[in-house]
Amino acid sequence: MTRASLRIGCASGFWGDTEYAAAQLVHGGNIDVLVFDYLAEITMSLLTRAKAKDPQAGYAPDFVTTLRPLLRELKSRGIRVVSNAGGVNPGACREALAKAAEAEGLNLKIAAVTGDDLLPQIEAMREAGVREMFSGAPLPARLASANAYLGAFPIAAALDAGADIVVTGRCVDSAVVLGPLIQAFGWSATDYDRLAQGSLAGHIIECGTQCTGGNYTDWRSVQGWDHMGFPIADCAPDGSFVIEKPPGTGGLIVPSTVGEQVVYEIGDPRNYLLPDVSCDFSRIRLEAIGENRVRVSGARGRAPSEHCKVSATYADGFRATAQFMIGGIEAPAKAQRTGEALLARCRRLFAERGLGDFTETSIEAIGAEATYGPHARVQTREVFVKIAARHPDKNALEIFSREMAPMALASAPAITGFSGGRPKVTPVIRLYSLLWPKARIPVSVEVDGQPIACPQMSGTALQALPPKEVPAPPPADALAAGTRSLPLLRLAWGRSGDKGDSANIGILARRPEYLPWIRAALSEEAVARWFAHLAQGPVHRYEWPGLNGLNFLLERALGGGGIASLRMDPQGKAYAQILLDFPVPVPATLEVPE
């Protein structure tokens, strides 16, 4: 018999999230399943580097140390655990968990989902002529890793086989939630609307407190940052669910906090592609049904693609970053000239030694609104200057590292506060995304080291979407009484995120009547001009009628993205805040609260 609901709590939004979240959910959340999401694209690069140094590394050790003191309670209460903490070494993660359970005197069934590692198929990919999904670049000569984004059905199979804990490698973030829902409610591979709803639940809670008031535009309205409640999705068999948090914890759950997380790291909301289902989130509904409780419904699904996204990484030279403070009159100008002088000095020394030029450089005066570019307003007498550089030769960056400190005596006054001494020279691990047929991805599941039957990935050729709806423009007579200009912040909430080298900015109107004026002001061309100092590619705008909003995708906007970027904001975290300063003309008669 199908159960009435399944309560899933998420205790980690990234590798390095607070270790206390799991205990909060286990002790006070009344949950059935505990999930952890660790694998941002940056994290995969870091884990790849760790495994290269130690074959037994490559997973998130925090997962094991966080779970160990909770294992007895998890077992006694029947709370099952699912996590992608396996990173690039799920087997080693499973073994570490087994040792922790044995040390606690417990007999736990621990499953590992594998098959995402596609390094053995690199030559086949090369022969097939694969290209990077976004840039069209050919496959690099050597790859450090290549991991497919697996789906949720292998997780469901492991749970169906009695696993208490399921560890995966690279899977889509939402799969750690969708897998338990498939197993609990018996959803099939063609229950597309339910799979889309379950994926939406996973998408909302995968980033932990980002849906319970963290990173919220109206941050002053959120209390209890010191004890933020981690999210719980209370899911029904029909796919609808309620977002809530443990009683007595901080944070805020209202439609706008949940809505901001919905738009995070999304492109076209009608076409959010996952291994198990192609999702349409454009007409979802968010309904407040009580204090800190929001019901979510309305996601629609269709058949998934026959291809799977693969995230590969490769070495692309070296990088180093110098950081120090400059104070006093004209601090930003001094910072810029000091950075330029350091780079010029290094170039002169490179030439004397037969070394080539930098591959890329970046100078940012933090405190002078460097990220805002031409929209900066601050005149300050104190900045933190960051000078970053890439070069194919490590020896060149060692020169850069040594020549940073001498600038304190050879350039502007009031240089101080060197951060961390000489900059460390580190390898650049760059992301390379591609598509690969699902039929060639050998997914497997082991429970306590024994293989079990596991459904393989499948899909069909994607169908073209119907033409986009074109909303009517604002009525011309609405401006009869004149106009006034307001910052977008007065009219909307915003959230931004990253996917590779692209950034998205979701904008949600505070009231439906504001949306026509926001849409009229924020054309693709206007947003492209606003971010011209950051985005090198085109800007795409998507309608989001269910949320009374718009979503913008900025291509080639993050300086390479992830740990390959030299920028202070390589993930576009501040981009929504930058756009919320955009001036929007509105009718003089439009009511907008102060």
Quick one: pLDDT at residue 481? 81
Quick one: pLDDT at residue 50? 86
Q: What is the pLDDT of residues 3-20, one digit of tens each?
A: 799 999 999 999 999 999
Q: Domain-by-domain residue ranges, the chain?
A: 6-115+150-304, 318-428, 476-587
Residue 444: beta bridge partners?
A: 114
CATH 3.30.300 fits 318-428, yes or no: yes
Q: Rg of the chain over CA atoms, in angstroms?
A: 25
The answer to whether residues 233 and 7 touch, using CB atoms and an 8 Å cutoff, is yes
Q: What is the pLDDT of residues 226-262, one digit of tens each?
A: 999 999 999 999 999 999 999 999 999 999 999 999 9
Residue 148: beta bridge partners?
A: 310
Burial string for 254-292 (b: 16+ CB within 10 Å, else e) reads: bbbbbbbbbbbbbbbbbbbbbbbbbbbbbebebeeeeeb
How many CA atoms lie within 13 Å of 195's alpha carbon, on the beta-carbon side? 25
Distance CA 532, CA 129 (A): 33
Check residue 308 and report its DSSP letter: E
Distance CA 286, CA 254 (A): 9
Check residue 419 and report its DSSP letter: S
For 347-379, give the DSSP string. HHHHHHTT----SEEEEEEETTTGGGGGG----
Q: What is the pLDDT along the chain (594 residues), one digit of tens a residue?
A: 567 999 999 999 999 999 999 999 999 999 999 999 998 766 877 887 788 889 899 999 999 999 999 999 999 999 999 999 999 999 999 999 999 999 999 999 999 999 999 999 999 999 999 999 988 999 999 998 899 999 999 999 999 999 999 999 999 999 999 999 999 999 999 999 999 999 999 999 999 999 999 999 999 999 999 999 999 999 999 999 999 999 999 999 999 999 999 999 999 999 999 999 999 999 999 999 999 999 999 999 999 999 999 999 898 999 999 999 999 999 999 999 999 999 999 999 999 999 999 999 999 999 999 999 999 998 899 999 999 999 999 999 999 999 999 999 999 999 998 877 899 999 898 889 999 999 999 999 999 989 999 999 999 998 888 888 888 888 878 887 889 999 999 999 999 999 889 999 999 999 999 999 999 999 999 999 999 999 999 999 999 999 999 999 999 999 998 888 999 999 999 999 999 999 999 999 999 998
Distance CA 90, CA 308 (A): 20
Distance CA 540, CA 528 (A): 9
Token pair listed for 282: 């454009």
Question: What is the signed CA dihedral for 18, 23, 24, 29, rounded to 10 degrees?
Answer: 140
The answer to whether residues 343 and 358 touch, using CB atoms and an 8 Å cutoff, is yes
Phi/psi class of residue 204: alpha, beta or left (left: φ > 0; alpha: ψ in -120 to 50)? alpha
Quick one: pLDDT at residue 506? 98
Distance CA 76, CA 290 (A): 31
The answer to whether residues 94 and 87 touch, using CB atoms and an 8 Å cutoff, is no
Burial string for 534-570 (b: 16+ CB within 10 Å, else e) reads: bbeeebbbbbbebbbbbbbbbbbbbbbbbbbbbbbbb
Quick one: pLDDT at residue 1? 52
The answer to whether residues 455 and 153 touch, using CB atoms and an 8 Å cutoff, is yes
Distances (CA, A) of 70 to 9, 27, 168: 15, 10, 20
User: SS3 helix, strand, coil % of the chain, rounded to 5?
Assistant: 30, 25, 40
Backbone angles phi, psi at 125, to 5 degrees: -65, -40
Quick one: pLDDT at residue 47? 86
